[in-house]
Structure 1
Amino acid sequence: MKIFITGASGFVGGAATRHLVGVGHEVYAMSRSASSDAVIRALGGEPVRCDLQSVSAEHLQGCAVVIHAAAFVAAWGEVDAWERANVDGTRQMLEAARAAGVQRFIHIGTEAALVRGQDLQQVDESYPLAFDSPYPYCWTKARAEQAVREANDPAGGFVTLVLRPRFIWGPGDATLLPIILQMARAGRWTWIDKGRALTSTTYIGNLVQAIELALTAGKPGEAYFILDEGERSLRQIITAMAAAAGVSLGDKSIPGWLAAAIGASSEWLWRTFALKGEPPLTRHAAMVMTRECTLIGDKARAELGYVPPFSVEQGLQQLRDSLAG
């Protein structure tokens, strides 16, 4: 099958490219630079020079499936940056895909599209999208998912669906784990509410298996949580990830109310005085570390045939092996 992937130089898109090439698919991937070209070729894909603003039907000719994994996920920035990439970019991809005769559009969404700052406790896919979220990443991902699901048109030969992983981790993560390790090695790692919040997680090897299943399975226009088996506290999973790199995180912790206050005041300072770089803590980061996020994955099992091929323990062993190598 000929597949077009966005975000292939990133964590999820790169893992999907490697996996799908490995099982025999012909993968083309959006690339914006020579360095991205090299990354994509190393994964076995073929780079296509375009971006989320310029992509057109011409770039997708002959592709049966689009996997849209690109997104703006920065901890800090201008609201326009999130909206331009996550909302406008997704709409541009949908338009190009339909015009090119693509038959299936798989959007890599997120549970964050449901988040307004509340706990999510044993939530399934019927939970409403958070268009009114105070966090730009969350509401832009909600609007992106809405656009994808509204574009679903099986009668017209265009099927869309959404995969929603939560807390993606594993080999190849160049963002979350490196930040944790850097903070720990500098003596700056601090838990919030002792890391007690429960969370669902998604090992990268499980996510790429779900992406492969979604090439042919799933009900048109639907969304699916893609999860590891069980749930654990943020402290358990983050401690285990750091331990895979031989790093101990310690016990230092601050209460959630203090983290929220630091996040709000830091954002005010950075915006008011146009400070460079990122604040030490944002409201969104403080919220993520204090709120429960446990999800129900039964729908993916029933409709995609998804059963996680890797346990958390197997994923941690693969993470250890990748960091040792």
Structure 2
Amino acid sequence: MSGARVLVTGASGFLGGYVVPELRRHGYEVFAAGRNATALARVADERHRVVGDLASLSSQELPVDAVIHCAALSTPWGSWKEFHGANVAGTRHVVEFARRNRVRRLVHVSSPSVYAANRDRLDIRESEVDRTNRLNGYIRSKNAAEDLLLDARDAQEIEELVILRPRGLIGAGDPSLVPRLLDVHTRVGVPLFGGGENLIDVTAVENVASALRLAITRGDAAGGVYNISNGDPRRFRDLLTTLLTLLGEQPRFRPLNRRVAWALASTLEAVCSVIPGRPEPPLTRYTLSTIAYSQTLDISRAREDLGYRPEVSLDDALSAVAAHLKAGS
């Protein structure tokens, strides 16, 4: 399908900014959609830029063969109204765009947050999802968006649908995962649970971009769901020590008890939810589910159906993050 036209939503964001050049390198004509005109100008020429929100996109007429839907509100804290508007209603707008323009395939970026729990979970398969998970609004919205898309596929509003759940994106320009950890490290030290022996799966952003490209032509088109990671789980303490050492920092860890931390996070969430402006708590249950417990993904289905192979190693990804942060300091 090289040479086909692809629209990338969220192209002004972290992941989208990698997906656009990845597709171009493989011969696709790429249209970049997003709200940040300045960021879009860095990845697409004027003829291939679609500036605006997802609501405005739904009425656009653009003859494309596929859509890669990267746009989303991704944060551990926020109101249901915000998450629903960005991740559920926003996805509905993308479906409307696909229907209006008779797009052949929609590739949706979901999230393994749907597996979040306060227990260790190893080699999680795509089917091991609790659709009633109410840990936070982000998880609810990602579950709801997947359900919406599957319903749209069944109703033949979407001709073909593939869903990816990439775990813990890292890379140069990461605006969230690593900056949050470094901020906590600087202020109080990184919380460490069970000696930091819990296994963490993360993914080089370049590998996610590659998987999304593969999903344009491969995978179960009837709503196939695929876990994506680097397939290289590391102990949490080792992962952070490697990154901090690359940055020339002395690791600072703060040992904590899981049960105490979970109770504290629950209390902080309850308090912050009634404070005007609903400020983000310094600790959330969702954050704990990602750093206090082991969570690794089974990516065998992506390997078999998509032909996915992590090309950028975890060590190379960590080095790229460190080099980028040093250059900007």
Number of residue pairs the alignment of both structures matches:
321
CA–CA distance in structure 2, aligned partners of residues 275 and 155 of structure 1: 41
2:170/2:318 contact within 8 Å kept: no
Counterpart code for 1:145: E
Give the structure 2 partner of residue 250 of structure 1.
252
Mark the CA change 1:181 to 1:266 in structure 2 (over 3 Å): closer, same or farther: same
Mark the CA change 1:22 to 1:154 in structure 2 (over 3 Å): closer, same or farther: farther
1:285 and 2:287 aligned: yes
Give the structure 2 partner of residue 52 of structure 1.
54
Gaps of 5+ in 1: none
CA–CA distance in structure 1, aligned partners of residues 231 and 87 of structure 2: 29
- Tell which deviates more after alignment, 46-55 or 63-72: 46-55
Give the structure 2 partner of residue 39 of structure 1.
39
Counterpart code for 2:37: D
Counterpart code for 2:40: I
CA–CA distance in structure 2, aligned partners of residues 31 and 298 of structure 1: 32
- Counterpart among 287, 296, 299 of residue 297 in structure 1: 299
How far off its partner does 1:130 sit? Answer: 2.6
Residues 22-51 of structure 1: CA deviation (Å, up to 9, x unaligned): 33322222232xxx1121121235321231
Secondary structure at the residue paired with 1:133?
Answer: coil
How far off its partner does 1:214 sit? Answer: 1.1
How far off its partner does 1:145 sit? Answer: 1.3
Mark the CA change 1:106 to 1:186 in structure 2 (over 3 Å): closer, same or farther: same
Q: Please list, as runs of the form range in 1=range in 2, the aligned pairs for 1:60-209 lying within 5 A after superposition.
A: 61-152=62-153, 158-209=159-210
1:13 and 2:16 aligned: yes
- Counterpart among 312, 315, 321 of residue 313 in structure 1: 315
How far off its partner does 1:108 sit? Answer: 0.6
CA–CA distance in structure 2, aligned partners of residues 118 and 82 of structure 1: 25
How far off its partner does 1:256 sit? Answer: 1.0
Q: Which TM-score applies when normalising by structure 2?
A: 0.89
Gaps of 5+ in 2: none
1:244/1:323 contact within 8 Å kept: no
How far off its partner does 1:188 sit? Answer: 4.2
CA–CA distance in structure 1, aligned partners of residues 219 and 274 of structure 2: 47
Mark the CA change 1:198 to 1:133 in structure 2 (over 3 Å): closer, same or farther: same
Secondary structure at the residue paired with 1:18?
Answer: helix
Q: Calculate the aligned-residue CA RMSD, in Å.
A: 2.2
1:69/1:107 contact within 8 Å kept: yes
Q: Which TM-score applies when normalising by structure 1?
A: 0.90
Mark the CA change 1:72 to 1:153 in structure 2 (over 3 Å): closer, same or farther: same
How far off its partner does 1:105 sit? Answer: 0.4
Mark the CA change 1:318 to 1:273 in structure 2 (over 3 Å): closer, same or farther: closer
2:233/2:296 contact within 8 Å kept: yes
Residues 41-74 of structure 1: CA deviation (Å, up to 9, x unaligned): 2123532123123322425x11111111111112
How far off its partner does 1:174 sit? Answer: 1.2
Counterpart code for 2:109: I
Mark the CA change 1:205 to 1:321 in structure 2 (over 3 Å): closer, same or farther: same
Counterpart code for 1:127: E
Secondary structure at the residue paired with 1:190?
Answer: strand
CA–CA distance in structure 2, aligned partners of residues 3 and 232 of structure 1: 35
- Counterpart among 255, 260, 263 of residue 262 in structure 2: 260
Report sequence identity in percent: 29
- Counterpart among 7, 16, 38 of residue 4 in structure 1: 7
- Tell which deviates more after alignment, 256-265 or 181-190: 181-190
Structure ranking higher on relative contact order (CA contacts 8 Å, 6+ apart): 2
Give the structure 1 partner of residue 33 of structure 2.
30
Give the structure 1 partner of residue 235 of structure 2.
233
2:227/2:301 contact within 8 Å kept: yes
Mark the CA change 1:187 to 1:219 in structure 2 (over 3 Å): closer, same or farther: same
Secondary structure at the residue paired with 1:73?
Answer: coil
CA–CA distance in structure 2, aligned partners of residues 229 and 73 of structure 1: 22
Counterpart code for 2:9: T
Give the structure 2 partner of residue 323 of structure 1.
325
